[in-house]
């Protein structure tokens, strides 16, 4: 033992590594480092040292009555301290040259099957298999795991303020108190094998600071020991999980060498250790098989310590190191075989859920961004074969999706309660920011990493528990309202005022991008080739785990259909062509419907999965709920000067596309009503369906005309901003929305907010310049933009103002000539020549026939209560997050019997805001229609 300790003290000085991390090539001596790697690989000295130290820890951890303490010149505690520090130092120095730095490319690559980095020294790259073999040894792996568990136990003891003696028993308490509590297993060992906490800190340094109390170390010492243990574990995992593996290097012409693998290295993750380098040099396929098999074998030693450690009290200790360890664990899980992944994914998401709710400070969240991004990338991660199976199912024959396209990773996340954990973490961060009166930057970071980048919100809407999704959406809405109110507070310093304004702007952008995702997937035309009617796939997500594995689900569909309807085998060329065509169609749809910023840093494959996994009636209802609740929170953009360069162009495009999705729903309903009005049948079911169509149309119209014509206001603001900024794409997006509104809105709404000026000469060519209503458009300018059909419809609908008309008096049709909502004649003008021509243009541009018809906002409010027992406060600005408060308050509008409130104050404020005018009548109309259709037996 003494010899091993003395040897360990001299090894760090002989490694040829002078600085950790090695940022430049001069921080290490490659020749000396090469010789050391060969020596340590052949002698197994590091593996033996870890085994000796573990054995010594077991001896020291033996309860005092079982051994006799004798006076000796050898201080076992000091020796243990030195050996622990030296082992950790050797491990970190062994990895430093391979990790590289700012001016040194290093040899590691995040992907095991990736080619070596360009510029990497081949001599350094050749040492990677030997270093990986050394750090994959059983002794090293168990040392890393045992150290993490022991340090976590010491942190728990320090937090509780009790001393933990030998054997893990608390002084004056019950045995086995600590991280694992009364657990009978401790990395396969009994609780008595836990190392006493006082052996895990720097005793020599502590004595230099004066006498210390017996028992557990202080929190500062325990936290430092935790950081060291995590750093050492992260170093080992970094090497064993990273690539390139030996077969890939051999394929690239790099000869691996450096010594023999250590004895007993059964837990390695290197491809050569798993199956032998000689048998895997045959090519990339063999390399892939060997690498994934090796990574699967390496999962327990890497995952076990992290599971035990992070499930403990980890919210206030060594966050940076923990985030690094968690990110590495995410990388490991992403490379596992699909059969091994679910068990570890389930543990991983449970750990993440426990940890996320303990990060209340924004600065803390910013320190763990690396981990949050890794978790977000796992939500829609796909394992080999899953994407192809999903595409085959989605493009196969039949009128409905035969099974949902959930991936293994997403299913495991849902089963672990990721939606509930995310909502809880967001609420904690929002409350912390509100209590401390600081910008909610941590909330925004979590929203960006786990929802926007992951593209997981639409699939969550489709497959997660409805109550959990509603809580998540309500948390986002309340956050938008809270951050908006924070930005209005006066008396702050200019710097603080700017920070709160920035947080409000970022919150608006985040909410808008989430709405882009949901409306593009659930409310616009589906990509060509994506078959299945959402209304007939109500059972697609009834099973919790069936069909999630790529190999099993692909065989369930049997055959795929080509574009011409000819059946082909799953491996046939026509089927492959269909799958490729569907992937290309989804890519094209995403590029057309999503702005660049909402697609930023999102892989194409993740966007495809977002579309493939979302088609379900529940997703449509939740998308409408998100739209109706989050869209009013963006009202602050009305006061912003959209023409300023600080306002991103993608914000303007995103606004236009979200409102276009709403307007298309109204237009689709009007077209359906026009077609149904020609039917001769006047049965009871026909009347119920007609009443439902009319009620839906009125609900969508209210959403578009709320706040004194919000949709036309946005059109006016974007047109003025795009004209000032000389931005043709923005002008085109605003006019596209205006075309849909001209067809969908009643004539009275258009006449109040829009004027078509028929001036002569140069005035007729003037572009719109005012961001306020009424929106004044020159006929000549519209024709210049190629909108002749729009001009004809506006003239026909009474918006034309002749040259020199006083007071803006209109000519042609009047607002009242088109009939009211209740007369059933509002859609008759669609059959006129001008209306039919513009409808043809709009239908071709937006693929109106393929637009998914979804429930109206008021209909969703009724169905959530009737189907799921979920009730939300009807006041848009309500800050109540507890859904039970609405149910227990018994505050409800007596007029519509649908709008419910969390308190009498909210009800009073909503009434003062105008609920008793048009909204109450609309909700009553929708409720009566829903009761007739869904309860009375009718169907749409």
Predicted pLDDT of residue 777: 92
Residues 711 and 852 in one domain: yes
Residue 765: the pLDDT is 76
Strands 891-892 and 900-901: antiparallel
DSSP state of 893: -
Q: Which one is predicted more confidently, 861 or 7?
A: 861
Beta-ladder partners of 189: 186
607 and 726 share one domain:
no
Reported confidence tier of residue 183, pLDDT bands at 50, 70, 90: very low
For residue 572, name the pLDDT band (cuts at 50, 70, 90). Answer: very low
pLDDT over threshold 90, residue 197 = no
* Whether 375 and 516 share a structural domain: yes
- Predicted local distance difference test score (pLDDT) of residue 889: 83
Long-range (24+ apart) CB contacts under 8 A made by 376-379 are 376/449, 376/450, 376/451, 376/453, 376/454, 376/456, 377/330, 377/334, 377/453, 377/454, 378/330, 378/333, 378/334, 378/345, 378/348, 378/409, 378/413, 379/409, 379/410, 379/413, 379/418, 379/450, 379/454, 379/456
Domain match, 682 and 720 both: yes
Residue 399 has pLDDT above 60, yes or no: no
Q: How confident is the model at residue 567 (pLDDT cuts 50, 70, 90)?
A: very low
* 856, 691 contact by CB (below 8 A): no
In a shared domain, residues 723 and 631: no
For the stretch 683-709, pLDDT in tens is 777 888 888 989 999 999 999 998 777
Q: Looking at the DSSP assignment, which residues form a beta bridge with residue 900?
A: 873, 892
Element (H, E) at 481: helix 466-487
Which pLDDT does position 573 carry in this prediction? 34
Burial of 58 (0-12, 13-18, 19+ CB in 10 A): middle
Bridge partners for 901 per DSSP: 891
Per-residue burial over 240-267, b = 16 or more CB atoms within 10 Å of its CB, e = otherwise: bbbbbbbbbbbbeebebbbbebbeebeb
Contact status, residue 324 vs residue 230, Cβ threshold 8 Å: yes
pLDDT, tens digit (0-9, with 9 covering 90-100), for 53-75: 888 777 766 655 544 444 444 56
Averaged pLDDT of the chain: 75
228: pLDDT strictly greater than 70: yes
936 pLDDT more than 70? no
What is the rounded CA–CA span in Å between residue 766 and residue 723?
A: 10
Please tell me the distance from the alpha carbon of residue 629 to that of residue 30, in angstroms, as a whole number: 61
Kindly state whether residue 821 falls inside one of the protein's structural domains. Answer: no
Percent of the chain topping pLDDT 70: 69
**One domain, residues 844 and 925:** no
**What is the band of 397 on the pLDDT scale with cuts at 50, 70, 90?**
very low
- pLDDT on residue 683: 75
Q: Whole-model pTM?
A: 0.80
As a whole number of angstroms, the distance between CA 580 and CA 38 comes to 49
22 CB-near residues (< 8 Å, 6+ apart)? 28, 96, 97, 99, 100, 101, 104, 106
| Angle made by CA atoms 117, 118, 120, in degrees to the nearest 5 | 75
Residue 668 domain-assigned?
A: yes
Buried b / exposed e along 273-310 (16+ C-beta atoms within 10 A)? bbbebeebbeeeebbbbbbbbbbbbbbebbbbbbbbbb
- The pLDDT value recorded for residue 317 is 60
Residue 625: per-residue pLDDT? 95
What is the per-residue pLDDT across 514-542, written as a single tens digit (0 to 9) for each? 999 999 999 999 898 775 544 333 333 33
Distance CA 625, CA 470 (A): 8
Alpha-carbon distance 522 to 693, whole Å? 19
> For position 102, what pLDDT does the model report?
63
The helix (run of H) or strand (run of E) holding residue 531 is none
Does one domain contain both 506 and 414?
Answer: yes
> What is the pLDDT at residue 679?
62
pLDDT of the residue at 119: 72
Find the domain containing 45 and state its range. 1-18+28-55
Q: With respect to residue 745, please indicate whether it lies within any of the assigned structural domains.
A: yes
| Domain count for the chain | 4
**Residue 175 in this model has a pLDDT that exceeds 70:** no
**466 — pLDDT class (breaks 50, 70, 90):** very high
Give percent of the chain with pLDDT exceeding 90.
30
Q: Are residues 614 and 736 in the same domain?
A: no
Pair 709, 752: CB distance under 8 Å = yes
In a domain, 749, yes or no: yes
* Inter-residue contact 746 to 704 (CB < 8 Å): no
What pLDDT sits at residue 127? 86
Contact between residue 129 and residue 277 where contact means Cβ atoms under 8 Å apart: yes
**Domain co-membership, 754 together with 899:** no
Beta-carbon neighbour count of residue 339 at 10 Å?
Answer: 12
The HSE-up count of residue 304 (CA atoms within 13 Å, CB side) is 19
Take residue 822 and report the two structure tokens written for it: 């209740």
* DSSP H stretches of helix in 594-727: 604-612, 617-630, 636-639, 649-676, 684-724
Under DSSP, is residue 568 helix (H, G, I), strand (E, B) or coil?
A: strand
Tens digits of residue pLDDT in 726-740: 999 999 999 999 999
* Cα angle value 579/582/587 (rounded, 5°): 130
In a domain, 209, yes or no: no
Q: Does residue 746 fall inside a structural domain?
A: yes
For residues 448 and 375, the answer to whether their CB atoms sit within 8 Å is: no
pLDDT of 696: 92
Distances (CA, A) of 628 to 250, 632, 740, 857, 859: 57, 7, 19, 6, 11
Choose the most confident range, by mean pLDDT, from 118-127, 149-158, 711-720. Answer: 711-720
918 in any annotated domain: yes
Q: Which pLDDT does position 110 carry in this prediction?
A: 67
11-20, 662-671, 903-912: which has the minimum mean pLDDT? 11-20
Q: Decide if pLDDT at 822 tops 80.
A: no
Q: Which of 873, 881, 903, 899 is nearest to 471 (CA)?
A: 881
Hey, what are 268's tokens?
């390695």
pLDDT value at position 467? 93
Alpha-carbon gap, residue 684 to 111, rounded angstroms: 63
Tens digits of residue pLDDT in 244-266: 765 555 545 555 444 433 333 33
Same-domain status, 359 and 493: yes
How many helices and strands in the chain, by DSSP H and E? 41, 7
- Residues 349 and 406 placed together within one structural domain of the fold: yes
Report if residue 314 sits inside a domain.
no
Q: Is the separation of the CB atoms in 656 and 718 below 8 Å?
A: yes
- Cα–Cα distance list, 872 to 766, 840, 884, 900 (Å): 47, 39, 9, 7
- Claim to verify: residue 524 and residue 478 sit in the same structural domain: yes
Q: Would you place residue 624 in the very low, low, confident or very high pLDDT band (cuts 50, 70, 90)?
A: very high
Nearest alpha-carbon partner for 717 in 731, 701, 736, 703: 731
Q: What is the spatial distance between Cα 522 and Cα 610, in angstroms, rounded to a whole number? A: 11
């Amino acid at each position: 033992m003494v010899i091993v300790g003395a040897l360990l003290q001299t090894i760090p000085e002989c490694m040829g590594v002078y600085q950790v991390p090695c940022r430049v090539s001069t921080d290490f001596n490659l020749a000396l480092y090469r010789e050391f790697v060969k020596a340590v690989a052949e002698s197994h000295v590091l593996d033996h040292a870890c085994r000796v130290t573990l054995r010594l820890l077991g001896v020291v951890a033996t309860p005092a009555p079982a051994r006799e303490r004798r006076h000796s010149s050898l201080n076992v505690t000091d020796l243990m301290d030195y050996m622990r520090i030296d082992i950790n130092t050797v491990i970190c120095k062994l990895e430093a040259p391979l990790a590289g730095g700012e001016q040194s490319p290093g040899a590691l690559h995040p992907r095991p099957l990736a080619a070596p980095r360009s510029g990497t020294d081949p001599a350094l790259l050749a040492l990677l298999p030997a270093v990986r073999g050394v750090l994959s040894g059983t002794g090293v792996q168990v040392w890393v795991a045992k150290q993490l568990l022991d340090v976590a136990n010491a942190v728990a003891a320090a937090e509780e303020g009790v001393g933990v003696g030998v054997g893990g028993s608390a002084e004056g308490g019950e045995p086995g108190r600590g991280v694992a509590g009364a657990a009978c297993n401790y990395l396969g060992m009994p609780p008595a094998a836990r190392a006493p906490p006082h052996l895990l800190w720097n005793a020599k340094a502590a004595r230099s600071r004066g006498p210390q109390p017996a028992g557990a170390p202080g929190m500062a010492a325990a936290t430092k020991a935790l950081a060291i243990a995590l750093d050492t574990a992260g170093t080992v995992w970094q090497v064993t999980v990273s690539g390139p593996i030996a077969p890939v290097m051999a394929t690239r012409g790099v000869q691996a060498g450096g010594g023999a693998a250590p004895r007993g290295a059964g837990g390695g993750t290197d491809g050569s250790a798993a199956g032998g380098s000689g048998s895997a040099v045959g090519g990339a396929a063999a390399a892939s098989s060997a690498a994934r098999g090796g990574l699967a074998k390496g999962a327990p030693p890497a995952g076990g310590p992290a599971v035990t450690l992070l499930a403990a009290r980890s919210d206030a200790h060594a966050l940076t190191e923990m985030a690094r360890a968690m990110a590495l664990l995410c990388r490991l899980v992403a490379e596992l075989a699909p059969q091994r992944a679910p068990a570890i994914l389930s543990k991983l998401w449970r750990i993440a859920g426990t940890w996320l709710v303990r990060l209340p400070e924004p600065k803390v969240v910013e320190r763990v961004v690396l981990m949050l991004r890794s978790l977000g990338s796992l939500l829609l991660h796909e394992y080999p074969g899953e994407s192809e199976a999903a595409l085959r199912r989605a493009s196969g024959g039949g009128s409905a999706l035969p099974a949902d396209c959930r991936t293994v990773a997403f299913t495991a996340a849902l089963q672990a309660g990721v939606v509930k954990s995310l909502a809880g973490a967001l609420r904690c961060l929002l409350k912390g920011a509100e209590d401390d009166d600081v910008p909610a930057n941590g909330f925004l970071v979590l929203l960006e990493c786990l929802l926007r980048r992951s593209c997981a919100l639409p699939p969550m809407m489709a497959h997660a528990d409805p109550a959990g999704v509603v809580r998540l959406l309500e948390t986002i809405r309340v956050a938008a309202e809270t951050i908006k109110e924070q930005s209005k507070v006066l008396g702050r310093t200019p710097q603080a005022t700017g920070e709160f304004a920035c947080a409000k702007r970022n919150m608006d952008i985040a909410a808008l991008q989430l709405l882009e995702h949901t409306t593009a997937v659930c409310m616009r035309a589906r990509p060509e080739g994506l078959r299945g009617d959402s209304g007939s796939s109500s059972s697609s997500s009834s099973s919790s785990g069936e069909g999630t594995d790529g190999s099993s689900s692909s065989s369930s569909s049997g055959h795929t259909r080509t574009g011409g309807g000819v059946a082909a085998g799953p491996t046939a060329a026509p089927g492959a062509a269909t799958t490729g065509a569907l992937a290309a169609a989804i890519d094209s749809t995403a590029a057309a419907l999503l702005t660049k910023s909402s697609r930023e840093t999102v892989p194409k494959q993740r966007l495809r999965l977002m579309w493939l996994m979302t088609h379900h009636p529940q997703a449509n209802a939740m998308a409408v709920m998100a739209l109706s609740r989050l869209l009013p929170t963006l009202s602050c953009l009305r006061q912003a000067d959209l023409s300023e360069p600080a306002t991103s162009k993608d914000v303007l495009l995103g606004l236009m596309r979200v409102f276009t999705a709403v307007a298309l729903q109204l237009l689709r309903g009007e077209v359906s009503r026009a077609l149904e009005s020609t039917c001769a049948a006047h049965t009871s079911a026909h009347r119920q369906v007609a009443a439902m169509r009319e009620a839906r149309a009125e609900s969508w119209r209210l959403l578009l005309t709320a706040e004194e014509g919000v949709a036309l206001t946005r059109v006016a603001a974007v047109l003025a901003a795009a004209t000032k900024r000389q931005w043709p794409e923005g002008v085109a997006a605003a006019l596209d929305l205006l075309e849909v509104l001209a067809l969908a809105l009643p004539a009275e709404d258009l006449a109040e907010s829009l004027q078509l000026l028929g001036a002569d000469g140069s005035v007729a060519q003037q572009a719109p310049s005012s961001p306020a209503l009424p929106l004044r458009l020159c006929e000549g300018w519209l024709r210049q933009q190629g909108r002749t059909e729009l001009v004809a419809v506006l003239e026909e609908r009474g918006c034309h103002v002749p040259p020199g008309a006083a007071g803006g008096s209109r000519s042609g049709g009047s607002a009242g000539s088109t009939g009211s909502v209740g007369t059933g004649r509002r859609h008759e003008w669609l059959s006129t020549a001008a209306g039919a021509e513009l409808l043809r243009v709009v239908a071709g541009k937006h693929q109106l026939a393929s637009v998914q018809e979804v429930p109206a906002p008021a209909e969703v409010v009724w169905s959530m209560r009737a189907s799921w027992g979920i009730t939300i406060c009807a006041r848009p600005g309500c800050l109540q997050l507890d859904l039970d408060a609405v149910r227990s308050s018994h505050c409800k509008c007596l007029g519509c019997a649908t709008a419910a409130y969390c308190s009498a104050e909210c009800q009073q404020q909503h009434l003062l805001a105008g609920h008793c005018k048009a909204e109450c009548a609309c909700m009553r109309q929708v409720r009566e229609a829903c009761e007739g259709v869904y309860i009375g037996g009718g169907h749409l």
